[in-house]
Chain A
Amino acid sequence: MNRTFKLSIIAISITLASGCSSLGVQPWERDLLAKRQMAITSSPIDAALDDHIYFSKEASSGGRSFAGGGCGCN
């Protein structure tokens, strides 16, 4: 089950990656994408605080960035 899941994730990623060359926009079509709220991490401070909370309260961390340092225990 787990192996199938991993393999399908990899398969989806490869499919998407190979399709990437036909995706995208011309430089003059970046008006909306250039907005701050369209940045992948639009609020880095919120993200840092959230990551610290969940890092210390859950057994998972990372994903969008490195897990970061410090204990943050309890």
Chain B
Amino acid sequence: MQLDKNSNLKLLLSTATCSLFGNGAQAEEDNNWKIDTALMYYGETDRVTAVEGIIAGTKEFSDEHFLNLKVTIDSLTGASPNGAIAQPEVQTFTRPSGDGSYVVKSGETPLDDTFKDTRLQVNAQWSQPLGRSYLSSAGLHASKEYDYLSLGANASLSRYFNQKNTTVSLGVAYSNDTIEPEGGIPVPFTEVDWQQGAIEHTDDDFEDEEEDNNRASNKPTLGADDTKDTLDLLLGLSQVINRRMIMQFNYSYSQVDGYMTDPFKVISVVNSNGESQRQLYEQRPDSRTKESVYWQTKYHFDRTVLDFSYRYMWDDWEIKSHTFDVRYYIPFYDGYLEPHVRYYMQEAADFYRTFLLDNESTPEFASADYRVGEMDGLTLGIKYGVPLKDGKEFSFRLEFFQQTPTNPGFEEIGVLQDVELFERVEAVIAQVSYSF
């Protein structure tokens, strides 16, 4: 059964890649497309599920002139936190699009269960040497999902020094993204359910039903779509230390301008007893400057290889994060095992608020999205790879990912003491890869 599945998968992947990269049979003989494929499942407990497939092909046209083409397809379904806080009572929410409503049980983190998206991404990258000491690369990407389009380009130049033991690189990337959310771009801090009471139907109130149906078209918006521009710069240094060790240092600078608010996220307004009064659309700043430093080192022991990396990121939203990542390559029978540990910690953005208080004035920016809040993340995983003949390889990966949001210092008033405001997120990642 397992074998059947695998051979079916092979056939499927071969068929898919052959149609993508031209005549497959001929490609095998005349050319040397190196194809990497992967299918990944990502599933959160009670929340989002994603399935993502990648097919990437690399071909060397002439000496060191490479073309890399990559197609990514992913599909997401499931429930996503809407930003509102848990309450001891049942809560009813109008969908952010303004179309329909849903009910959340008492004490539970409010999740919008209508999340569904399919994304197609294509990347093309060309790289070639320029003279003996330089390597250049340029690429394009396009990514399209139902309500989102991202178009981008990148270019980089590397120079070798010291018998190619030292490489200095400079990269630049630009992308333009357009979001066109269902129901339009909401007006920040307006009430999601601005027709108060419309949900509580009474038998003699037929007109309310009609109003309910018209709600989507009545929602105040700032237009149908909005855009953002991202400019990334990357300065890199890689250095061979000795026969067993190599290091990489990167400095990245990223400037994002435009719409970064999540049009589907809300923030709860509570009274002095912590009882939710209403939900407002969130609002984030329209510019962000991010910087990061990254250090990676690889060390070859007698048989095993240790891969360690650390990234420190900071931005003008006052988010700071530390990421530690360790992979350890261990030869195992005819293949290898690779345990993986990743630890992440992040401080909250200055506009992160778990909730707003009824009697305070509305801030300039606020988001209750836990992803811009304070949290820790832990990933534990293992990969098993089996190299086959002619450079082919099968590999499997299984990882457990856990996010633990924490309170950055908000007082849990009244009824909020009785509910879990910072719920842990747990996910499983499973991946199968085949290269040929």
Contact = CB atoms under 8 A, between A and B. Distances in A.
Interface of A: 2, 5, 9, 13, 16-17, 20-21, 23-27, 29-33, 35, 37-38, 40, 42-46, 48-49, 52-54, 57-74
Contacts of B371: 57-59
Contacts of A49: 38, 40, 52, 54, 431
A59 B336 CA distance: 33
B32 interface: no
A66 B371 CA distance: 20
Contacts of B142: 69
Interface string B412-436: 0000000000000100010101000
Contacts of A17: 237
Given A60-B319, A63-B250, A20 B166 contact: yes
A56 to B, nearest CB: 8
Nearest to A19: B239
B36 A45 contact: yes
7 contacts: A24-B166, A33-B246, A45-B56, A57-B401, A63-B252, A69-B150, A71-B119
B80 A74 contact: yes
Contacts of A42: 307, 329
Contacts of B56: 44-45
Contact of B162 (A21, A59, A72): A21
Interface stretch (B172-180, B200-208, B273-281, B355-363): B172-180
A24 B171 contact: no
B11 to A, nearest CB: 20
A59 B372 contact: yes
Contact of A70 (B42, B150, B250): B150
Contact of B349 (A9, A59, A74): A59
A40 to B, nearest CB: 5
Contacts of B349: 59
A48 B317 CA distance: 26
Contact of B179 (A26, A52, A58, A71): A71
B264 to A, nearest CB: 8
A40 B232 CA distance: 21
Contact of A71 (B145, B244, B397): B145
A13 B242 contact: no
Contacts of A5: 312
A69 B329 contact: no
B159 interface: no
Interface in B164-190: 165-166, 171, 173, 175, 177, 179
A64 to B, nearest CB: 6
Contacts of A25: 165, 240, 242-243
A64 B309 contact: yes
B52 A69 contact: no
B162 A24 contact: yes
Listed from nearest, the 9 A-B pairs whose CB atoms lie closest are A24-B165, A70-B143, A69-B150, A63-B294, A74-B80, A63-B311, A71-B148, A60-B321, A66-B173
B296 interface: yes
Given A21-B166, A71-B145, 15 more contacts: A5-B312, A17-B237, A20-B162, A20-B166, A24-B165, A24-B240, A40-B248, A42-B307, A46-B38, A58-B371, A60-B321, A63-B311, A69-B175, A73-B148, A74-B48
Given A13-B249, A23-B240, A64-B309, A37 B154 contact: no
Contacts of B251: 13
A20 to B, nearest CB: 5
A29 B145 contact: no
Contacts of B241: 23-24
B52 A52 contact: yes
A62 B264 CA distance: 24
A58 B346 contact: yes
B238 interface: yes
A71 to B, nearest CB: 4
Given A32-B244, A40-B248, A58-B371, A67 B232 contact: yes
Given A20-B162, A70-B121, A63 B429 contact: no
A13 to B, nearest CB: 6
